[in-house]
């Protein structure tokens, strides 16, 4: 039972350390979706002016809905939305796990891993010494047989 819990913590820690990258990926996907949804094609053609009878170039902007285009577009949108939903669920899982922690360590974990604060900043905000934050995190991870990772020592990467 304890080993299962440790494996879950190890997995959650890896996810926690990737949290910021996950958030960036979500934002990137949202931007890509927004761009796709606004994508339009410009069609140019020449016609004769009804007043002068001379050729005039006109531009019409909009979507061209051929079956092939629509199928490709819908498949791309569906794939992107599925990936986005998966990333959002992973982010929510991390945040739910953090919410299960005791208040003090939850605050520290959130500040270090979610808000990307350095240990010194966390210590200053919470009224501790920097070394106290490092010790609290080290003890927390050590309870599960883990060491404090390099990217959570003072300066987060």
pLDDT tens-digit readout, 91-147: 999 999 999 999 999 999 999 999 999 999 999 999 999 999 999 999 999 988 888
pLDDT of residue 106: 96
Q: Residue-wise over 50-73: b if at least 16 C-beta within 10 A, else e?
A: eeeeeeeeeeeeeeeeeeeeeeeb
Contact (Cβ atoms closer than 8 angstroms) between residue 40 and residue 62: yes
For residue 15, give the nearest of 100, 84, 114 by alpha carbon. Answer: 114
- pTM: predicted TM-score of the whole model, two decimal places: 0.67
pLDDT tier for residue 39 given thresholds of 50, 70 and 90: low
pLDDT of residue 27: 92
Contact (Cβ atoms closer than 8 angstroms) between residue 21 and residue 157: no
Domain borders along the chain are 101-157
Has residue 40 got a pLDDT over 60?
no
Inter-CA distances, 77 with 28, 32, 35, 95, 134, Å: 14, 10, 11, 27, 44
H or E segment and range at residue 48:
strand 41-48
Has residue 7 got a pLDDT over 80?
no
Q: What average pLDDT does the segment 61-81 reach?
A: 79
Q: What angle do CA 35, 95, 23 make, to 5 degrees?
A: 25
Has residue 4 got a pLDDT over 60?
no
| Least confident among 47-56, 61-70, 74-83 | 61-70
Please indicate whether residue 59 or residue 89 has the higher confidence score (pLDDT). Answer: 89
Protein fold of 101-157: Arc Repressor Mutant, subunit A (1.10.10)
Q: What average pLDDT does the segment 37-64 reach?
A: 69
Neighbouring residues of 129: CB distance < 8 A, sequence distance ≥ 6 = 123
Has residue 62 got a pLDDT over 70?
no
pLDDT of residue 153: 46
Please indicate whether residue 38 or residue 76 has the higher confidence score (pLDDT). Answer: 76
How far apart CA 78 and CA 73 sit, in angstroms, is 9
């Amino acid at each position: 039972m304890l080993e299962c819990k440790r494996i879950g913590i190890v997995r959650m820690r890896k996810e926690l350390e990737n949290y910021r990258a996950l958030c960036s990926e979500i934002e990137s996907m949202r931007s890509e979706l927004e761009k796709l949804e606004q994508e339009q094609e410009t069609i140019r053609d020449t016609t004769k002016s009804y007043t002068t009878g001379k050729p005039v170039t006109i531009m019409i902007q909009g979507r061209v809905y051929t079956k092939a285009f629509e199928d490709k577009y819908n498949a791309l949108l569906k794939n992107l939305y599925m990936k986005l939903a998966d990333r959002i669920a992973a982010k929510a899982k991390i945040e739910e796990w953090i919410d299960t922690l005791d208040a003090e360590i939850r605050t520290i974990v959130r500040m270090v891993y979610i808000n990307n604060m350095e240990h010194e900043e966390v210590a200053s905000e919470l009224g501790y010494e920097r070394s106290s934050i490092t010790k609290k995190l080290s003890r927390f991870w050590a309870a599960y047989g883990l060491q404090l990772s390099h990217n959570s020592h003072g300066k987060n990467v």
